[in-house]
Chain A
Amino acid sequence: MNYHWDWHFFTRQVQAGDETYVDWLLTGLGWTLACSLTAWIIALSIGTLVGTLRTTGSRGLAGFGATWVELFRNIPLLVQMLLWFFVVPELLPRDLALWVKQDMPAKEFVTATLCLGLFTSARIAEQVRAGIESLPRGQREAALALGLSPFQAYRHVLLPRALRTVLAPLTSEFMNTFKNSSVAYAIGLMELTFQARQMQEDSEQGIETYLAVTLLYFLCAFIANRGMAWIERRTRVPGMIG
């Protein structure tokens, strides 16, 4: 193989400007983290809400929740990214559409984060629903019999228990969010994958670049995993499994 290995290229200046390749890599990492973490917050809030709605026993709310879930999990993430970026702005009122297309700050970031957040929310909703439905019927009824409103029953009994139960699948979902954020390169967000392609073209050190990016993704997911494991340990009811 004629490949010219050069692990020091990272510190070299890029051809297009006065930054180094490490700067590019760190910029990518920064966008990946910003996009993933913000998307995760959106996904967790909306997912918990939608998953809860599906268990309320109200037809309207449950129907809304079901529609939400089906809408966001039946379309490939990449297609959703493109839809949000190219199609949705066209559907907005004229003035708003113009603003979104021309003046909205960090347009790629906002679109990618929203898209990833909503996509993941559908998956979280299903996990939260499963968690709530796995609880014995008596838990909800005991809370109601003690005079709590349905909202309070969810807040103090059902969700604290259900979320503990589904922490393991939520961990996977959190890790997925980091990995899925790579799809945002398709709409031009300068996250890790986008930067990697750019570095490869600029430096022709593709193997080192992708190895470095792989390691960074791996670390992100791994730290996310460890973080969730810590939460799991902290919130575990002493002496109980799950």
Chain B
Amino acid sequence: MPLLELVDVSQSYGTHKVVDRLDFSLERGTIGCLLGPSGCGKTTVLRCIAGFERVSGGEIRLEDACVSGPGMHVPAERRRIGMVFQDYALFPHLTVAQNVAFGLRGESGSQARVYDLLHTVGLAGQDRKYPHELSGGQQQRVALARALAPRPQLLLMDEPFSNLDVDLRERLATEVREIIKSAGTTAILVTHDQHEAFAIADEIGVMHEGRIQQWDSAYNLYHCPDNRFVADFVGQGVFVPGTVTDPETVEVELGRLRSRVPIECSRGCGACGRGCSVDVLLRPDDVIHDDGSNLRAEVVHKAFRGAEILYTLRLNSGARVLSLVPSHHNHALGEKIGIRLDVDHVVAFRQPEAGPRTETLIEPDSIPLLKRAQGIRAA
């Protein structure tokens, strides 16, 4: 029995649907994450689970008891949740220890619990300070300790790291994961930052336009995206057009791609081998720099990343691909370098122009981020 279950949950503000028939569930002890661009409805979902907002449709179940549903709403204070807010929402008129002890309300042993928690989050000895005397990262830890103190059955975190600098963000995300795991708490995180999601969550739901596009592990989201939106939002990459010649092979401008698993260009389509026109997802790590290759591409942009350089390359047809190359291969703009493809499994989506629209949830036009390879169709 999952600890948390959302069934067909909808939420609208006026006529604007923010959350649209959302379904997911979370097992005890797991850390889930709602990942999506701003305005996708993820924070609203979190606020509905917390009980700060009523749902306009569907049902939220906690420990198999309905807490939100038609004509029914358990107030936030009776849901046994803990919440970490984006701005931490610490109580500035109380000391660190008073903040952490706040949810315990003087129950016996609360002092020892506060001390333990401050120790766990690495703030032992800071108990008498006021929140504003702490750094952002420290305030974040106080917020976490405060939320964990009453031993909530579910911990909710709303963009908890977005106010921190990037370095601290990932380090703290990993630390927070350890703390939550060692407390055995079930948690949900909401974020727009995929690195944060990868660092902390066991399961990630990618949200767009009020719906979950895919609920999966980080690995699968990156390597086996269910649709174009997920492919585009998670990780980098471009789509290049290709033609499927048999279930394991697709022809693209860069050559013939062999996939170790049958290519499925849309769910339920089955392996296709009838010359379907598809868009093939090429990640930067699929395009390998190889001086010995006959295939040449021109460097049009480069981004130095320390250990690697991310090159944007123009093919003869004008299409662009990304390539991640060890950074000692330093090439100048305009230079032609040799590349080859190394694709483990092909991710392809049927071209929307070809045949009847498949049940892909996303209209290609609605994806602002889509970095579709340009110009190749003209060639």
Cβ–Cβ < 8 Å partners of B51 in chain A:
144
Residue of B nearest to A238 (CB): B130
Q: Given A141-B83, A238-B130, A239-B130, A147–B103 Cβ distance below 8 Å?
A: yes
Total residues of chain A contacting the partner, CB 8 A: 22
Cβ–Cβ < 8 Å partners of A164 in chain B:
93
A144–B147 touching, CB < 8 Å: no
The reply on A240 being an interface residue by CB < 8 A is yes
Residue among B77, B83, B88, B146 having the largest count of chain A Cβ atoms under 10 Å: B77
Cα distance A185–B30 when bound, in Å?
72
CB < 8 Å neighbour of B77 from A147, A157, A238, A240: A147
The reply on B133 being an interface residue by CB < 8 A is yes
- In addition to A141-B50, A141-B85, A148-B102, 15 A-B residue pairs with Cβ atoms within 8 Å of each other are A142-B83, A142-B89, A144-B51, A145-B50, A145-B76, A146-B147, A147-B78, A147-B80, A147-B150, A148-B103, A156-B102, A161-B92, A237-B93, A237-B132, A238-B130
The reply on A63 being an interface residue by CB < 8 A is no
Cα distance A138–B87 when bound, in Å?
8
Q: Given A145-B147, A147-B80, A147-B103, A240–B132 Cβ distance below 8 Å?
A: yes
- Binary contact readout B74-108 vs A (1 if CB under 8 angstroms, 0 otherwise): 01111011110111111111000000001101000
Cβ–Cβ < 8 Å partners of B80 in chain A:
147
Please provide the chain A residues from 132 to 147 with a CB less than 8 Å away from any CB of chain B in the complex. 136, 138-139, 141-147
The reply on B52 being an interface residue by CB < 8 A is yes
Chain B interface helix/strand/loop/mixed: loop
Cβ–Cβ < 8 Å partners of A141 in chain B:
50, 52, 76, 83, 85, 89
B130–A237 touching, CB < 8 Å: yes
Q: Given A239-B130, A239-B133, A240-B132, A145–B93 Cβ distance below 8 Å?
A: no
Number of A-B pairs, beta carbon distance below 8 Å:
74
Cβ–Cβ < 8 Å partners of B50 in chain A:
141, 145
B146–A146 touching, CB < 8 Å: yes
Cβ–Cβ < 8 Å partners of A149 in chain B:
77
B76–A240 touching, CB < 8 Å: no
Give the interface of A toward B (CB within 8 A): 136, 138-139, 141-150, 156-157, 160-161, 164, 237-240
Cα distance A143–B85 when bound, in Å?
12
List the 7 closest A-B pairs by CB distance, nearest first: A138-B89, A146-B103, A145-B83, A142-B89, A144-B76, A138-B85, A144-B77
- Chain B proximity of A159: nearest CB distance (Å): 11
- Binary contact readout B174-195 vs A (1 if CB under 8 angstroms, 0 otherwise): 0000000000000000000000
Cα distance A147–B150 when bound, in Å?
9
Cα distance A143–B87 when bound, in Å?
14
- Chain B proximity of A162: nearest CB distance (Å): 11
Residue among A145, A157, A161 having the largest count of chain B Cβ atoms under 10 Å: A145
Residue of B nearest to A236 (CB): B93
- Chain A proximity of B332: nearest CB distance (Å): 50
Cα distance A146–B86 when bound, in Å?
16
Please provide the chain B residues from 89 to 129 with a CB less than 8 Å away from any CB of chain A in the complex. 89-93, 102-103, 105
Cβ–Cβ < 8 Å partners of A238 in chain B:
130
- Chain A proximity of B129: nearest CB distance (Å): 10
Cα distance A237–B93 when bound, in Å?
6
Residue pairs across A and B with Cβ atoms less than 8 A apart, 18 shown, are A136-B89, A141-B52, A141-B89, A144-B75, A144-B76, A144-B77, A145-B50, A145-B81, A146-B82, A146-B103, A146-B147, A146-B149, A148-B77, A161-B91, A237-B92, A237-B132, A240-B130, A240-B132
A146–B133 touching, CB < 8 Å: no
- Chain B proximity of A163: nearest CB distance (Å): 10
Q: Given A147-B103, A149-B77, A240–B87 Cβ distance below 8 Å?
A: no
Cβ–Cβ < 8 Å partners of B156 in chain A:
145
Residue of A nearest to B91 (CB): A157
Cβ–Cβ < 8 Å partners of B133 in chain A:
239
CB < 8 Å neighbour of A146 from B87, B93, B102, B132: B102
Residue among A141, A142, A144, A160 having the largest count of chain B Cβ atoms under 10 Å: A142
A146–B150 touching, CB < 8 Å: yes
Cα distance A209–B348 when bound, in Å?
96
Cβ–Cβ < 8 Å partners of A146 in chain B:
77, 82, 102-103, 146-147, 149-150
